[in-house]
Structure 1
């Protein structure tokens, strides 16, 4: 794997696919179908900055994508969110940020199924052929539009259909989300199973094509337990 620094040119120069599109066409799959078993309640609906955790994530994804390319260039946003439980509560929030919404009727089968549903939806319904898909999670409230923009820009700068961009946060370089997969991985993403999700590819056949993007700020934390949320609440005022 190769490290690149955020906001800088990488020394890594893969052979580029024969594509001349500027900007590249990037879709987003937002995963909000988890069962939140350890949390005990739907973590996407927890209060955050006067709204919800889900609002914070959707806002960051929308802002970061807009910073990369103006939506006016597309007839619709290539965004989809995959829900599970609490679909009726999540849908109005998600659609207010321009996402389509599809429901995973079997969230107990793991994150892999939600990724497969979301990727398949974009491949079949995007009005434009996509060069990459950004996979994000709905419980990362410190995510910023700047991080999303940097992930997309790193993909563009190191473009190949097999490229995978994985952000690593803070001094400890902790890997996290969102992860951007080139189009080569669209078919494998539609066939992954279990709770490992995209890690199946990142640690498997895609390992040699992963580029680690270092994000200086330690803002990649997600919420799994009530203790996680309490720790993050102490940082709620960051970046305001």
Structure 2
């Protein structure tokens, strides 16, 4: 089974006020943690979608052996990065794409591998993270659904699609889905790892 990891990291971090992808976490960065989590999983093909501050971020992270995809339409919302990534990967004949966010540092290799294993058991189902009643990213999308994901719009397009298609989904319950959106989130995260 041929699977790629797609890290979505194109946002402008408007709530944070700085490029959160480059926020320091020890001797690493927030996005660097997500990249290393992906590298440490059982998947070897890793792609990262950049948008805002793309050149600066890429220059800081080009020591990682991953491929960068530039989304010039990042201001139109997260859906544009999802679509840019899927279009880029479609021609590479992946059976599925595991999408993760740049600001979820607790989504480690163990969790990614568990999601991949769930997908392998039912390769025609979407494996989506469960947030209470809602579903979201990280998510494993089989190629059967690529065309559906290319129709989503705005910042909540993926969540809307997932929540409308629950019969096609395996729920992946995960307590480690902290998103770092604000300075308080960042401070809380730093305290939790020290």
Q: Give TM-score scaled by structure 1 length.
A: 0.75
Whole-angstrom CA distance in 2 between matches of 1:42 and 1:33: 10
Alignment partner for residue 150 of structure 1, among 110, 114, 130? 114
Deviations 1:176-208 (A, max 9, x none): 53111111111122221100132132022x321
Cα 1:167–1:51 shift into 2, 3 Å:
same
2:176 maps to which residue? 219
Higher share in strand: 2
1:185 maps to which residue? 145
2:126 maps to which residue? 164
Contact (CA 8 Å) 2:96, 2:141: kept in 1 or not?
yes
Cα 1:65–1:182 shift into 2, 3 Å:
same
Whole-angstrom CA distance in 2 between matches of 1:65 and 1:191: 29
Whole-angstrom CA distance in 1 between matches of 2:100 and 2:67: 15
Whole-angstrom CA distance in 1 between matches of 2:168 and 2:62: 33
Cα 1:93–1:168 shift into 2, 3 Å:
farther
1:200 maps to which residue? 160
Unaligned runs of 5+ in 2: none
Deviations 1:130-189 (A, max 9, x none): 1111111111122211001001011001222xx1112347xx688553111111111122
**How far 1:209 moved relative to its partner?**
0.9
**How far 1:92 moved relative to its partner?**
3.5
Alignment partner for residue 122 of structure 1, among 89, 92, 115? 89
1:56 maps to which residue? 33
Deviations 1:72-112 (A, max 9, x none): xxxxx2x3211111111221454433221121112210011
Q: Give TM-score scaled by structure 2 length.
A: 0.91
Whole-angstrom CA distance in 2 between matches of 1:111 and 1:174: 17
Matches for 1:14-93 after TM superposition, within 5 Å: 24-66=1-43, 71=44, 77=45, 79-93=46-60
Cα 1:94–1:208 shift into 2, 3 Å:
farther
Unaligned runs of 5+ in 1: 1-23, 72-76
Whole-angstrom CA distance in 1 between matches of 2:155 and 2:70: 17
Higher share in helix: 2
Contact (CA 8 Å) 2:136, 2:158: kept in 1 or not?
no
> If you compute each CA radius of gyration, which structure gives the higher value, 1 or 2?
1
2:189 maps to which residue? 232
